[in-house]
Amino acid sequence: MKKFFLFFTFTFLIGCASKKEIRQDQTALNGLWELAEASYSKNLTKDYSEGLPTLNFDATEDLAVFGYDGCNRINTKAKLGANKEITVNTNIISTMMACNKVKDNDFTKALTEATHYEVTGHTLKLYNEKDYLIFHKITLNGQWYLDKIYTTKSTVKQLYPYKKPFINLDILSTKFTGNTACNMITGMISMYQNQMSFNHVTKTEMFCDGINEKIFIDTLNKITHFKLEGTRLILFQNDKKMLEFVRNIPQ
What are the pLDDT tens digits along the chain (251 aa)?
545 444 444 444 444 444 555 555 677 888 888 899 999 999 998 999 888 898 988 876 678 899 899 999 999 999 998 889 999 999 999 998 888 889 999 999 999 999 999 999 889 999 999 999 999 888 888 899 999 999 999 999 999 998 999 999 987 788 999 999 999 999 999 887 788 999 999 999 998 888 889 999 999 999 999 988 777 899 999 999 999 999 865 44
Beta strands in 106-224 (DSSP E): 116-120, 123-127, 132-138, 142-149, 166-169, 175-179, 184-192, 195-203
- Rounded to the nearest integer, the mean pLDDT of the chain is 86
Selection from 203, 201, 198, 168 nearest residue 182 by Cα: 203
Say which amino acid occupies 104: D
**Dihedral sign computed on CA atoms, order 191, 37, 246, 243:** negative
Model pLDDT for residues 43-54, shown as the tens digit of each residue = 998 999 888 898
- CATH architecture type of domain 142-246: Beta Barrel (2.40)
Say which amino acid occupies 223: I
Selection from 81, 84, 79, 72 nearest residue 57 by Cα: 79
Selection from 74, 81, 27, 71 nearest residue 55 by Cα: 74
The segment(s) of the chain belonging to CATH 2.40.128.270 are 25-138, 142-246
Taking domain 25-138, whether its CATH number is 2.40.128.270 is answered by: yes
Query: Structure pTM?
Result: 0.60
Q: Which residues contact 106 (CB under 8 A, 6 or more apart)?
A: 38, 40, 41, 47
Give SS3 for 74: strand
